[in-house]
Amino acid sequence: MESSEKVKILVIDDELSMRQFLQILLKKDGYDVTTAENGEIALRKLKEEKFTVILMDYNMPEAIDGIDLLNELLHTSPKSQVIVITAYASTEQAIKAIELGAVDYVSKPFNVAEIRDIVKKCVAAAQTQKNNEPVKTAQTKRTDTGFQNIPEETGIVAQSPQMKKILELALRIAPTDSTVLITGDSGTGKEVLANFIHKHSGRGDLPWYPINCGAIPENLLESELFGHEKGSFTGAYQTKKGYFEVAGNGTLFLDEIGELGENMQVKLLRVLQERVFTRVGGTEKIPTGVRLIAATNKNLQEQIKKGKFREDLYFRLNVIELYIPPLSERHADIMPLANMFLDQFSKKTGTNFRFSEETLDFLNHYTFPGNVRELKNIVERGTIFAHDGLVTETHFEKTMPSMPKPQSAESNPFEVDLSHNVDLDEILADIEKRYIIQALKKTNYNRHDTCVLLNLTERMLRYRMSKLGIKDDKE
């Protein structure tokens, strides 16, 4: 290729076979490829000539380890695009490398199309920088102690240390092509974070398609994702393109990924590995350049142990994991979020809404089992009844009479009988058992809704039910 004839690439790997493989592969694409068997040799070569792209193995049995070598490379050749190659599914290494300044990450074993595509994009990014054209990313300026600031127009409230850290990492990984797995309870804002990553990537102006895997029947999901050929099944009157095709080089967000059936897990794994797919009823292999972001409120590692989720697919999805903690664990975000929602409803209705002091106290002490989604609904309910613009706790109670009021420190919900010795563990276990059984009955034994009602994770609920000997009618 004419545009890449003078592009120089440095490959650093202690395995001779890997160095030779990458050298042959990249030379076929017209690149000038130099190899180095360890970090010391690589640094010497960097002093002799400049390289547009550097591919480095993160794990080499030499004096310079992966972190130190990456830092040295970035210091010696700050304009080089560094791609880190590491062991299969090493999520921690991926996060660390990207935080330090690597532009992308690929895990062994990788396929030819994947590495060629990543190198091509890095070369294009380097050329853009060379021409002084703005690179289409949203990375903030980074110091030795972290990001100097988070852009104000992010669309996400991040006052708590946890959310600030999540957004810092999201901004760092956004410009890469790495697959991201977002985990956390329902209502924490996983789709909002996924869209944030898309908007702050180089794909921000390309298509964005959120798909809820749990909302589409298994027999239709394959057609929705991969499309189908005319006549492939009853009702297929014409050829249809699926999301992987219409998204092009955009972003697909697969929410509730834990709801995928075994058949779809196999098909999705193949697409992630080979970067090609086939329409239902078709034979043509169609390439895809889409970026995938997945999310789940389930513990996929627990699902793997139960045989309900493929471990190899989990590793392919979990290149980088972002966990969003529940709202009850990031108290500093509650009022900023509430004020943001109140401002949104004020603009929508043309009314200047405001919170009363008692409402502020209520919001600051409520546990929000439904997380950010519940907070937004509470604020909206309050504005509906606040005709004078003042939102009070009373307005919440009009539509939520059963809403539990926050307990004050002085409240004494019941008197206890200590006229004789008691077994405190037994009493607490009995209370806990009655609450769980009552919640199961109230939700018609829906464990997800029970977790929301009791502000528990599914793992915590399973543990408590097992410990207390509680059975439900689904088993």
Which three-class secondary structure state does DSSP give residue 296?
strand
Choose between 93 and 450: higher pLDDT. Answer: 450
If you average pLDDT over residues 451-468, what whole number do you get? 81
**Single-letter amino acid code for the residue at 415:** E
In this structure, is residue 335 part of a structural domain?
Answer: yes
Check: CB of residue 273 under 8 Å from CB of residue 111: yes
Q: Are 363 and 301 part of one and the same domain?
A: no
In this structure, is residue 210 part of a structural domain?
Answer: yes
Q: Are 173 and 299 part of one and the same domain?
A: yes
CATH number where 251 lies: 3.40.50.300
Among residues 130, 150, 184, the one where a domain terminates is 130
Q: Tell me how far apart the terminal alpha carbons of the chain are, to the nearest angstrom.
A: 61
Choose between 59 and 206: higher pLDDT. Answer: 206
Rounded to whole angstroms, the Cα distance separating 359 from 346 reads 17
Q: Is the peptide bond before 109 cis (omega within 30 degrees of 0)?
A: yes
CATH number where 371 lies: 1.10.8.60
Check: CB of residue 369 under 8 Å from CB of residue 457: no
Range of the domain at 379: 328-399
Q: Are 197 and 289 part of one and the same domain?
A: yes
89 pLDDT more than 80: no
Question: What's the confidence (pLDDT) of residue 366?
Answer: 85
Structure tokens that stand for 88 in this block:
């299969």
In this structure, is residue 183 part of a structural domain?
Answer: yes
In this structure, is residue 445 part of a structural domain?
Answer: yes
Among residues 270, 304, 325, the one where a domain terminates is 325
- Percent of the chain with pLDDT strictly greater than 90: 36
- Percent of the chain with pLDDT strictly greater than 70: 84
In this structure, is residue 409 part of a structural domain?
Answer: no
In this structure, is residue 353 part of a structural domain?
Answer: yes
Q: Which of 105, 101, 99 is nearest to 86 (CA)?
A: 105
CATH number where 455 lies: 1.10.10
Chain segment 363-404, per-residue pLDDT in tens = 888 888 889 999 999 899 889 888 788 988 776 765 554 555
Q: Are 223 and 317 part of one and the same domain?
A: yes
Q: What is the DSSP string of 232-292?
A: SSTT--S-B--HHHHTTTSEEEEESGGG--HHHHHHHHHHHHHSEE--BT----EE---EE
If you average pLDDT over residues 167-183, what whole number do you get? 88
Within 10 Å of residue 407's Cβ, how many Cβ atoms?
11
94 pLDDT more than 50: yes
Choose between 396 and 447: higher pLDDT. Answer: 447
Q: Are 92 and 188 part of one and the same domain?
A: no
Q: Are 168 and 311 part of one and the same domain?
A: yes
Chain segment 249-279, per-residue pLDDT in tens = 999 999 999 999 999 999 999 999 888 999 9
Check: CB of residue 459 under 8 Å from CB of residue 298: no
Question: What's the confidence (pLDDT) of residue 313?
Answer: 92
Q: Are 20 and 7 part of one and the same domain?
A: yes
Which three-class secondary structure state does DSSP give residue 404?
coil
Question: What's the confidence (pLDDT) of residue 66?
Answer: 77
Q: What is the DSSP string of 81-148?
A: EEEEEESTT-HHHHHHHHHHT-SEEEESS--HHHHHHHHHHHHHHHHHHHTTPPPS--PPPEETTEES
In this structure, is residue 475 part of a structural domain?
Answer: no
pTM of the model: 0.63
Number of structural domains found in the chain: 4
Among residues 282, 297, 325, the one where a domain terminates is 325
Rounded to whole angstroms, the Cα distance separating 449 from 454 reads 9
CATH number where 50 lies: 3.40.50.2300
In this structure, is residue 407 part of a structural domain?
Answer: no
Q: Are 58 and 99 part of one and the same domain?
A: yes
Residue in this structure with the two tokens 């010795």, named with its chain if needed: 421
Q: Are 318 and 334 part of one and the same domain?
A: no
If you average pLDDT over residues 181-186, what whole number do you get? 93
Choose between 65 and 234: higher pLDDT. Answer: 234
Q: Are 85 and 197 part of one and the same domain?
A: no
Choose between 128 and 447: higher pLDDT. Answer: 447
Which three-class secondary structure state does DSSP give residue 214?
coil
Chain segment 292-344, per-residue pLDDT in tens = 999 999 999 889 999 999 998 998 898 888 999 999 889 899 999 999 999 99
Q: Are 229 and 286 part of one and the same domain?
A: yes
Structure tokens that stand for 64 in this block:
């310079």
φ/ψ of 220, rounded to 5, equals: -105, -20
Q: Are 257 and 382 part of one and the same domain?
A: no
Check: CB of residue 474 under 8 Å from CB of residue 443: no
Within 10 Å of residue 287's Cβ, how many Cβ atoms?
12
182 pLDDT more than 90: yes
Question: What's the confidence (pLDDT) of residue 416?
Answer: 58
